[in-house]
Amino acid sequence: MAGKVISTGIRYTKLPESYIRPVNDRPNFSPVSECNDVPVINIGAGDRRLISKQIGDACRDYGFFQVVNHGVPDEVVKKMEKVGGEFFRLPVEEKMKLYSEDPAKTMRLSTSFNVQKEQVHNWRDYLRLHCYPLDQYSPEWPTNPSYFKEYVGNYCTAVRELGMRILEFISESLGLEKERLISILGEQGQHMAINHYPVCPEPELTYGLPGHTDPNALTILLQDTLVSGLQVLKDGKWVAIKPYPNAFVINIGDQLEALSNGEYKSVWHRAVVNSDQPRMSIASFLCPCNDSVLSAPDELIKDGSKRVFKDYTYTEYYKKFWSRNLDQEHCLEFFKNQQ
Ligand code: OGA
Ligand code: NI
């Protein structure tokens, strides 16, 4: 079992065969540009209409943006980063007590993406937690480091609030009532992935995460402040999103693409690794209530336009998502209406 995670503390000198991608599917197969223009939006001050317009433009053009002045206290973020780092530095035997390859588990340490389905593995370990309702799930969280539950719990609460505010802005940006999307999404679940990408001996041959879209509604990503690795597909080219101080990276997941009737895109993104420094990223996922029906609101279906997607529940979607490999076609394709 212990051979399965890669955060063992031992430095690899050679990339194991099972991680090597085919030549036409490697990080540098196509040129990557440094992106300076994923919008950075100040959501803590100014005119509400202007902020939602900026967010709407970013959702349409990039599917990604960064937010600053976001209201999550600096101390809460710092503590989250500290405990995430410490967790992955624990002895491998200690971490392996939490190991599982079953996506249905609500708390697990795992590696790569979907070990049982994929052909090539990815240079990533991750701790995945369900976070809402907190008092239901935090009892099963790790107890080592001793302050894990406290720090992570505070972070989850603050990030959820931020996510809800952003959903309100997104709703308004589509011309909907502020609460409209939140009410369709129902009592949202919240998951977290603490991603750890160890130093990789041959980073040009593999990914931390291959290109994928997020299956949930909204993702709030805390990037490593020092080490970059996130890349987004924009107009057919991969662009790197450099860490921006005190910002969160926000992206539209598949469910917001569906609810916007395809107007906002859940875009492909990936994580690359490097040979100098480990990288951590902390992704928080807001997920629709399992039995809410993901159907674009009537207000958006006008002027003879049609619903791009079928009506489906999040349970149906999530099942489909995890039954596939990550780097296949967009999962939303399976839910499209015939035009
Ligand atoms: C994810 C993800 C990117 C990163 O966890 O879904 O896209 O930079 N992470 O780790
Ligand atoms: Ni993602």
Strand pairing report for 189-197 and 230-234: unpaired
Give the residue from 184, 94, 165, 106 showing the smallest Cα distance to 138: 106
Write down the pLDDT at residue 1: 46
Q: Which atom of ligand 1 is nearest to the CA of 230?
A: 8
CATH of the domain at 172: 2.60.120.330
Confirm whether 160 is domain-assigned: yes
Residue 251: pLDDT band (50, 70, 90) is very high
Q: Which of 111, 250, 281 to mutate to test the pocket of ligand 1 (most atoms within 8 A of CB)?
A: 281
Say yes or no: CB of residue 269 within 6 Å of ligand 1: yes
How far, in Å, CA of 55 to CA of 169, rounded? 7
Whether residue 25 has pLDDT greater than 80: yes
Write down the pLDDT at residue 328: 73
Confirm whether 298 is domain-assigned: yes
Residue 327: pLDDT band (50, 70, 90) is low
Confirm whether 10 is domain-assigned: no
In the reported structure, the alpha carbon of residue 47 is separated from the centroid of ligand 2 by a whole-number distance in angstroms of 30
Instruction: Label residues 287-296 b or e (16+ Cβ within 10 Å = b).
Output: bbeeebebbb
Instruction: Convert the pLDDT of each residue in 7-24 to its tens digit.
Output: 998 889 999 999 999 999
Highest mean pLDDT among 67-76, 239-248, 317-326: 67-76
Report the DSSP beta bridge partners of residue 64: 251
Percent of the chain topping pLDDT 70: 97
Confirm whether 38 is domain-assigned: yes
Whether residue 35 has pLDDT greater than 70: no
Residue 200: pLDDT band (50, 70, 90) is very high
Say yes or no: CB of residue 195 within 6 Å of ligand 1: yes
- Mean pLDDT of all residues in the chain? 94
Strand pairing report for 40-42 and 64-68: parallel
Instruction: Label residues 239-260 b or e (16+ Cβ within 10 Å = b).
Output: bbbebeeebbbbbbbbbbbbbb
Write down the pLDDT at residue 186: 97
Highest mean pLDDT among 36-40, 198-202, 237-241: 198-202
Q: Which of 81, 124, 209 to mutate to test the pocket of ligand 1 (most atoms within 8 A of CB)?
A: 209
Say yes or no: CB of residue 163 within 6 Å of ligand 1: no
Percent of the chain topping pLDDT 90: 83
Residue 36: pLDDT band (50, 70, 90) is low
Say yes or no: CB of residue 243 within 6 Å of ligand 1: no
Confirm whether 121 is domain-assigned: yes
Write down the pLDDT at residue 158: 98
DSSP string, 63-104: SEEEEES-S--HHHHHHHHHHHHHHHTS-HHHHHTTB---TT
Q: Which residues contact 23 (CB under 8 A, 6 or more apart)?
A: 29
Q: Which residue, chain included where needed, has tokens 């997607």?
A: 309
Quick check: helix, strand or coil at residue 298? helix
**Neighbour order of strands in the sheet with 279-287:** 40-42, 64-68, 248-252, 218-223, 279-287, 189-197, 125-130, 107-111
* Nearest-CA residue for atom 6 of ligand 1: 214
Say yes or no: CB of residue 326 within 6 Å of ligand 1: no
In the reported structure, the alpha carbon of residue 249 is separated from the centroid of ligand 1 by a whole-number distance in angstroms of 10
Write down the pLDDT at residue 2: 47
* Nearest-CA residue for atom 8 of ligand 1: 230
Write down the pLDDT at residue 216: 97
| Residue 163: its H or E element | helix 148-173
- Report the Cα–Cα distance between both ends of the chain, in Å, rounded: 48
Confirm whether 260 is domain-assigned: yes
Residue 3: pLDDT band (50, 70, 90) is low
Where do runs of H (alpha helix) occur along 89-143? 92-96, 134-137
Write down the pLDDT at residue 338: 83
| Residue 129: its H or E element | strand 125-130
Residue 58: pLDDT band (50, 70, 90) is very high
Domain range for 104: 29-335
Confirm whether 6 is domain-assigned: no
Would the CA dihedral through 311, 314, 316, 318 be positive or negative?
positive
Confirm whether 72 is domain-assigned: yes
Give the phi and the psi of residue 2 in degrees, each rounded to 5.
Answer: -60, -25
Q: Which residues contact 263 (CB under 8 A, 6 or more apart)?
A: 59, 60, 174, 300
How far, in Å, CA of 97 to CA of 43, rounded? 41
Give the total number of structural domains in the chain. Answer: 1
How far, in Å, CA of 185 to CA of 141, rounded? 26
